Amino acid sequence: MEIDQEYRDVLRTLSEGSVHRRFDPYLDIDWDSPEFAVEADDPRWILPDCDPLGAHPWYKALPEEKQIAIGMWRSANITKVGLQFESVLIRGMMQYAMRLPNGSPEFRYCLHEMTEECNHIQMFQEMVNRTGADVPGMRRDYRFTSQYWHLGAHLPILFFIGILAGEEPIDHFQKSVIHDGAARPPALLRTMEIHIAEEARHISFAHRFLHEHVSRQSKAGRALTSIAYPLIMRWLAGAIMAPPGEMAKEFDIPRKVIREAFWSRPHSREILRGYFGDVRMLAEELGLMNPVAKRLWRMCHIDGPASRYRGEPHRPAQQAA
């Protein structure tokens, strides 16, 4: 496939950014410093309102020590989910990159991104280990099927939509935690800051990749992509943000609370919609918001206004009751 000069320039800029601005989980985090010590009774583990469970009245009514315990477990589990998803990304991206021709600028950037994702996996697992929580990560059904997700790399457009479907909710959630302004455990905040900084390049690449490749699809191909797009987004939002059954069992969380928090309560649905403002913007730019697709976005409860620019905060999620 012939790559135009503008896309080449974007790939070169992203690759150079990976060379000149990169992080190492064991050089850029002083894990053994007193400041980064992980304490099981630290009230800074209490979940923020941007977390669907943290905003639920049931959680807010709990004694502080139980809020802390659930908050640490939930934070560790989301971190575990992040590294599980990135392992899928690496496997699929490697399959894609190995099929690229010599001289492809996509090859170089994909290898840079996989290197960074390996560092993220190490960083996230170290964070999980420090909490001492034996968290499983994704729900059992997702864990079982995730070993096959990378095979989607044989359909690159759908695979990169899936990459965004996994990256955007975590990125949005982490930014919301930091913008919340409340005190959080320093080790957790540092892992989030590093991840956000490098994930900006990864998300930029996925957006630009889809611009380049969707534009080359036939009319029928684009119609199918427009249908798959919201379905993949909603499916992976559940994989990334909804907790596994082990959490409810560990802390005696009523099924009704889990159901309301993920995602039947109005405030929770607003949070869910907020994850996808940027990808709704991308769908409009790609010409994928046709009437059928719009109806699917609504049915999946991930419809709403598109972002005006990448990374625009979803303010209604913060204001909803």
Length of the chain: 321
Alpha-carbon distance of 8 to 117, in angstroms, equals 22
Residues 6+ apart with CB under 8 A from 41: 65, 68
From the number of C-beta atoms within 10 Å of its C-beta (0-12, 13-18, 19+), residue 120 rates as buried
**70: number of Cβ within 10 Å:** 22
Instruction: Name the token pair of 267.
Output: 């405030």
**18: number of Cβ within 10 Å:** 19
Judged against a pLDDT cut of 70, whether residue 107 lies above it is answered with yes
Residues 6+ apart with CB under 8 A from 224: none
Angle at 174 between CA 169 and CA 176, to 5 degrees: 95
Instruction: Name the token pair of 228.
Output: 């798959």
Residues 6+ apart with CB under 8 A from 1: 216
Domain boundaries, the chain: 5-20+42-319
Q: Mean per-residue pLDDT for 115-144?
A: 96
Place of tokens 């611009």: 211
Over residues 8-33, the pLDDT tens digits come to 999 999 999 999 988 999 999 999 99
pLDDT confidence tier of residue 4, bands split at 50, 70 and 90 = confident
Type of residue numbered 150: H
- Tell me which residue of 48, 302, 89 sits closest to 202, measured CA to CA: 89
Model pLDDT, residue 269:
96
Specify the 3-state DSSP secondary structure of 307: coil
CA separation, residue 274 to residues 44, 59, 175, 221, 280 (Å) = 24, 21, 12, 28, 10
Place of tokens 């991930």: 302
- What phi-psi label fits residue 252: left (phi over 0), alpha (psi between -120 and 50 degrees) or beta? left
DSSP state of 42: -
pTM: 0.93
Work out the percent of the chain whose per-residue pLDDT is above 90: 90
Over residues 131-168, the pLDDT tens digits come to 999 999 999 999 999 989 988 899 999 999 999 999 99
Tell me if 212 sits within 8 A of 5, measured CB to CB. Answer: no
CATH entry 1.10.620.20 includes domain 5-20+42-319: yes
Task: Report DSSP letters for 79-137, one per residue.
Answer: HHHHHHHHHHHHHHHHHHHTTSPTT-HHHHHHHHHHHHHHHHHHHHHHHHHHHT-----
Q: Mean per-residue pLDDT for 285-297?
A: 97
Judged against a pLDDT cut of 60, whether residue 321 lies above it is answered with no
Judged against a pLDDT cut of 90, whether residue 45 lies above it is answered with yes
Instruction: Name the token pair of 254.
Output: 């009523």
Alpha-carbon distance of 109 to 132, in angstroms, equals 35
**184: number of Cβ within 10 Å:** 20
Alpha-carbon distance of 232 to 158, in angstroms, equals 8
